[in-house]
Amino acid sequence: MARFSCAVPGQELRGPIFARELEFRGPRIDPALMNARMPVLFIGHGSPMNAIEDNPWRRAWRRLAETQPRPRAVLCVSAHWETRDVAITASPHPETIHDFYGFPRELFAVAYPAPGDPELAQDIARRIGDAAIPVHLDPRRGLDHGAWSVLCAMYPDADVPVLQLGLAAHRPGTWHYGFAKRVAFLREKGVLVMGSGNIVHNLPLLGRYWNAPPPDWVPRFRDRVNALIAARDHAALCEWRSLGPDAALAVPTPEHYLPLLYALALQRDDDIVETFNDEVFATLSMTSLSIGWRA
């Protein structure tokens, strides 16, 4: 099967997997910003089809990369890599994992050949692991669609190294929030930390509302979480199951919600928090956050 790029109609992409040149439409980044404290992102990634479709969500991801400092590397905490223990990808050339089914052949043909950075992975593992929480290096794990479906819009050249941090989803929210603070030093090292999931994510009920308005509990829970983010009530967000009956429907399993806590844990007192792609579709919310930089 021929390899397929992340190109979408009307947008010309370049790089190892793209045939044509990208016309730069965003503001150029001042080289001085390369030494700035990196922002933190939470991305509502939604369907993997966003990798190849031209839609407002994907365009917002592209604009974000055009206006923020260019990272040395990306550390992604994705809903789609659940691990028993803490692990970090350590492959120099991580493969593109197509961890889904029932989608068009074109999506399975997408390749996102961003390099890894084994040396950086080793340094992170050494600094965030200890006897109580050992951190393992995984030299064979590739990039799942929680990472590449977003990053192919943000960095279409696939020239920014990408690492993933495994999600020990069996642990409680407070554990994830506390552990996430161990990677805070990466913001000063030029590394973009990105959580990738969805605040509202109920796949079993998705088909019922595919061609219908979202049920009331979807925007209601989204609004509740947004209000707690604005109030910086991270303790309440770590205990999302206590947020009422809507929480059980919005977060039936925790893996898509937990990446939000990794982003919030890295918020500093002087960080602005901007919400974008703040929309709901069926039983998903696409709400995304830029922390420490205007979206």
d(CA 128, CA 109): 35
CATH (domain of 170): 3.40.830.10
pLDDT digits (tens, 9 = 90+) for 57-77: 999 999 999 999 999 999 999
pLDDT digits (tens, 9 = 90+) for 106-118: 999 999 999 999 9
pTM for this model (two decimals):
0.89
Mean pLDDT of 26-45: 70
Share of the chain above pLDDT 90, in %: 85
d(CA 171, CA 163): 21
* Residue at 15 is within a domain: no
* Residue at 8 is within a domain: no
Give the pLDDT of residue 294.
78
* Residue at 17 is within a domain: no
d(CA 83, CA 65): 29
* Residue at 206 is within a domain: yes
Structural domains of the chain, count: 1
* Residue at 129 is within a domain: yes
> Where residue 9 falls among pLDDT bands split at 50, 70, 90?
very low
Does residue 29 have a pLDDT over 60?
no
> Where residue 35 falls among pLDDT bands split at 50, 70, 90?
low
* Residue at 48 is within a domain: yes
> Where residue 85 falls among pLDDT bands split at 50, 70, 90?
very high
Alpha-carbon Rg for the chain, nearest whole angstrom, is 18
> Where residue 36 falls among pLDDT bands split at 50, 70, 90?
confident
Mean pLDDT of 170-189: 97
In the sheet that holds 73-78, the strands lie side by side as: 162-164, 73-78, 191-197, 40-44, 288-291, 273-276
* Residue at 30 is within a domain: no
Q: Which domain holds residue 149?
A: 39-291
* Residue at 113 is within a domain: yes
Does residue 30 have a pLDDT over 80?
no
